[in-house]
Amino acid sequence: MTTTSILSDRQKDELHKAILDYLSASGFNQSFSALKSESENPDFVADPKQKYAGLLEKKWTSVIRLQKKIMELETKSTQMQEELNNAPTRKPTSSVDWIPRAPEKFALMGHRNPITRVAFHPLYQVLASASEDTSIKIWDYESGEYERTLKGHTKAVQDITFDSKGNHLISCSADLTIKVWDTNNDYKCIRTLYGHDHSVSSVAVIPTTDIIVSASRDKTIKLWEMASGYCVKTLVGHLEWVRDVSPSEDGRLLVSCSNDQTARVWDIQKGETKMDFRGHDHVVECVIFLPVSSYPFVWEWLEANVKSNKDQAVPGQYIITGSRDKTIKLWDVSTGQLLSTLVGHDNWVRQLVVHPSGKYLVSASDDKTIKIWDLRSGRCVKTIEAHSHFVTCLAYCHTTPLVATGSVDQSIKIWQCR
C-alpha cells in the first residue's frame, strides 16, 4: 500500500541525501548502496563539506530539544492554570471605592526623556509607555519587568492607545506620523500613516470600528481606516494646535481641545462641530466624555435641575476638560453650559481619567500630584505626591485595580488601588 507523502520533491531529495550521508558515516555500506539505488542517487558521494553532512543528526537533536521545551511549557501552563483556578476572587461590588494609594507598587525606569503617555492593554498584564526619547516601551505590570522597546518614530512619541481587543497599539509622534503595531506579532510596525502637516499630539480608536482618530498641531483632526491606512475624513474648526481628542462610548461623537482655549464636540457622521465650549483662561490640555456609569454620581453632585430621565442617559451628555489655567471643568454637551469648576491643582492639568466604576475622576498635574475627585460631590478626596517632576499622564487598568502615571522625571509608577 502506498501512502501519499507530505514532502515536496526537493524536501524528499534532501532527506534521501541526508540519510545516505548518515548511513555512509555510520558504516552501513549495504544499506547505503541499497538506498542509493532505490532513491535514484547513483552518483551520490558522502562529502563532509556538503550541506547534507550531519544534517540528519542535527534535525534529530533539534526535534528532541523542541519536544522537551513543549513538555516544559505544558507543565508550566498547567501550573499557571492551577494558580489561576485557586486565586482569590475579589467581590466586584467593593471595587467601587478602590482608589490609588501611596506608596507606589513599582517605579519603572528605562526611558531617557520625559514620559508622554501610558496605556494598559485591555486584556493582558501589559503596560505601554511613550516618551520624548522617540521610543515606546512594553512592561509587565504584575512583575514590573521590562519586556521590549519599539523603535520606529524619529521624534518624540506623543500618545499611544490600544484598540478595544488589544490586537493593535497605535502611536503618534512629533515626526508627523501615526504608526500601527501588531501586538500578536512581536509588536511589528505594520502600517505608518502620513497626512498631518505638523506634530501629531493625540490618537484614539473609535469604539466598535477600526477607525483611528488623530489630533495635530496643524489644527486638524483626521479619521483613518486602520486596515488600509487611508485618511477618510478631516475635521477643521480649531484655530490653534489640537491637543487631545477622544470618542464617546457609542462612537457617534468626538471631543477635542486646543491651544485656542476651547473644547469642541463633533458629529462624526456629519464631520462638523456640534458644540464648542469656552470658559478656560489658558490652553485646554485634556478632555474626555464622562462615561454613562458616572451619570448617577454627577446627578447627585449637580442635584435636581440637571437630572434627566434615566432612560435618556445616552453616551456623550457631559464632557470634562483640564487646562493650563489649573482648573477642571464639567460641561453639558447639549447646551454648551458650564456646570461646575473643580479647583485644587497648583499647576497645569495634564490628563483626566474616570474610575472604572464611574464614581471618581483622577487628574494628573504639573504640580507633581494626582488628585482623586468624588463625582458625587465634586470634592477632592485624595491627593498623592506622585513624582519628583511634572506628572504628564495617567491611565486606569480595567482588569486589575491599578493606576499608572508617567512624568518628566522619566519614571513610570504603578499604584495599587485599595
- Alpha-carbon distance of 179 to 170, in angstroms, equals 6
Count of Cβ atoms closer than 10 Å to residue 68 Cβ = 10
- Alpha-carbon distance of 23 to 46, in angstroms, equals 9
Give the three-class secondary structure for 300: helix
- Alpha-carbon distance of 63 to 65, in angstroms, equals 5
Contact 135, 111 (CB under 8 A): yes
- Alpha-carbon distance of 298 to 308, in angstroms, equals 11
Q: Enter the C-alpha cell of residue 248.
A: 464617546
- Grid look-up 488623530 returns 214
pLDDT by 10s per residue, the chain, length 418: 556 677 788 888 888 888 888 888 888 888 888 888 888 888 888 877 777 777 777 777 888 888 888 998 988 888 888 888 776 654 443 556 789 999 999 999 999 999 999 999 999 999 999 999 999 999 999 999 999 999 999 999 999 999 999 999 999 999 999 999 999 999 999 999 999 999 999 999 999 899 999 999 999 999 999 999 999 999 999 999 999 999 999 999 999 999 999 999 999 999 999 999 999 999 999 999 999 999 999 999 988 455 554 557 899 999 999 999 999 999 999 999 999 999 999 999 999 999 999 999 999 999 999 999 999 999 999 999 999 999 999 999 999 999 999 999 999 999 999 8
pTM score, whole prediction: 0.77
pLDDT at residue 306, rounded to an integer: 57
Q: C-alpha 417: how far from its chain's center?
A: 20
pLDDT at residue 307, rounded to an integer: 52
Complete domains list, the chain, with CATH:
9-60 (1.20.960.30), 94-416 (2.130.10.10)
Q: Enter the C-alpha cell of residue 340.
A: 461646575
Task: Give the type of residue at 194.
Answer: Y
Q: C-alpha 372: how far from its chain's center?
A: 23
Tell me: the pLDDT tens digits for 282-322? 999 999 999 999 999 999 998 845 555 455 789 999 999 99
> What count of Cα atoms within 13 Å lies in the side-chain half-sphere of residue 134?
8
Q: Enter the C-alpha cell of residue 66.
A: 523542541
- Grid look-up 458616572 returns 294
- Alpha-carbon distance of 268 to 410, in angstroms, equals 36
122 burial class (0-12, 13-18, 19+ CB within 10 angstroms)? middle
Return the axis-axis angle of helices 55-86 and 9-26, rounded to nearest 10°: 110
Q: How far is CA 48 from CA 18, 24, 318, 336, in A?
A: 11, 11, 76, 82
pLDDT at residue 90, rounded to an integer: 47
Task: Give the type of residue at 170.
Answer: I
